[in-house]
Amino acid sequence: MTLHLSELGMMSSEEKGNLLAMLLEDPLLATPAVAPEKTKAKTRGPAPDVRFELLGPLVMKHGDVDFAPNAPKLRATLATLLFNANRSVAASALTRELWSDEPPRSAQATLQTYVFKLRKLFRSALNVSTEYVNQELLLTHSGGYTLLVDADQLDITEFERLVVTGSNDLHEGDYDRAATDLRRALALWRGPVIPDLQWGTQLRAHVARLEERRFYAHTMRIEADLCLGRHREMISELASVVVEHPLHESAHVMLMTALHRAGRTAAALEVFMRFRRRMLQELGIEPSARIQSLHMALLKNDGMLDDRGLTSEMLLDRLAGSRGKPRAA
């Protein structure tokens, strides 16, 4: 990328010093950029001993040493590259993440300085050459940067893999394996996603998606435990979920089912009535026909409710079908 002379006057003495060191040391600034196609062809990260973690405070660990940067904007730069690991991130996108719609005139040069500092961290922690870091780990190409990371080095990719396999296990009826995979996925979370970071638009979108996937993994893990007959154990956990998500229908369905199978049908009916009141008060609509079919089955003590091999979705499908209702797509 090209540095305009007008930007030099906007830079601090430290930034100028870092830029000078970068110009002297980084051969990529003086040679043709790496083509994006070559970056995509790279499938394995070059530093297998490094662990990157985003599901909690940002961690970049080599062995037992966490060498993640402390400066907020440097951490935001690293986080953006990690959320887009093995994909090109345009310099313009990084600039928006760091400064929103009001970047300083020196933004381009400052971003180059941040990338230089990240490379310096890698070089020092891994004890490798500048050329290795520039050409095998944190690449510069026309218009942006790419951080190469192997899938098992990054906790968000490991989390997603376990959620997918756990969900597949659940739908295939392997409830024990599903519960195990989903517990492993949830155990990767050490707290809120990088809570000490000032997020830009792209990072907020990534975090929102991860939180949604976390909730999905949580409910699917409870579902697997219910299918394993752990109804009494799940009641208090499900009660907490419906308090936190008072309009979430699936959580109420699971709580109603767990209460019934634990011999507490009256409590299950009360859960439905509270949910219905909340829907009418806050949204002005009745609960869906599917959860109403569960309510009617509870009133009739339908034997289908005791089939522990059915997930809540399968149960609702059958109950709705038995009432002549069309199944949800």
pLDDT in tens, 241-286: 999 999 999 999 999 999 999 999 999 999 999 999 999 999 999 9
CATH number of the domain residue 239 falls in = 1.25.40.10
Same domain for 213 and 86, yes or no, is yes
Identify whether 8 is part of a domain: no
Mean pLDDT in the chain?
85
Most confident of 69-78, 95-104, 177-186: 177-186
Q: What is the pLDDT of residue 219?
A: 97
Last residue of a domain, one of 228, 257, 285: 228
Please check whether residues 19 and 154 belong to one and the same domain: yes
Given 166, 194, 228, which residue is the final one in a domain?
228
Beta-strand pair 138-141/65-66: unpaired
> What total number of domains does the chain contain?
2
216 plus 274 within the same structural domain: no
Do 154 and 291 lie in a common domain?
A: no
Residue 91 placed within a domain: yes
pLDDT of residue 326: 40
204 and 241 share a domain? no
Do residues 251 and 213 both lie within one domain?
A: no
Distance between CA atoms of residues 155 and 210, nearest Å: 11
pLDDT the model gives residue 305: 93
Q: Considering the domain boundaries, does residue 5 fall inside one?
A: no
**Percent of the chain with pLDDT strictly greater than 90:** 72
From 197, 228, 259, give the residue that closes a domain.
Answer: 228
In a domain, 4, yes or no: no
CB 39: neighbour CB atoms within 10 A? 18
- Is residue 274 located within the same domain as residue 218? no
Indicate if the pLDDT at residue 51 is higher than 50.
yes
Question: What is the predicted pLDDT for the residue at 42?
Answer: 42
Residue 168 falls inside a structural domain: yes
Residue 256 and residue 185 share a domain: no
Please check whether residues 105 and 194 belong to one and the same domain. Answer: yes
| 202 and 250 part of one domain | no
* 259 and 193 in a common domain: no
116 compared with 326, residue with greater pLDDT: 116
- Higher pLDDT pick, 202 / 298: 298
If asked whether residues 193 and 249 sit together in one domain, one would say: no
In a domain, 174, yes or no: yes
Q: Which domain holds residue 277?
A: 231-329
Nearest alpha-carbon partner for 190 in 1, 45, 52, 55: 55
We report the CATH number of the domain holding residue 61 as 1.10.10.10
In a domain, 3, yes or no: no
pTM: 0.80
pLDDT of residue 40: 41
**Looking at residues 126-155, what average pLDDT do you find?**
92
**Confidence label for 322 from pLDDT (cuts 50, 70 and 90):** low
> For residue 107, is it within any domain?
yes
pLDDT at 28: 39
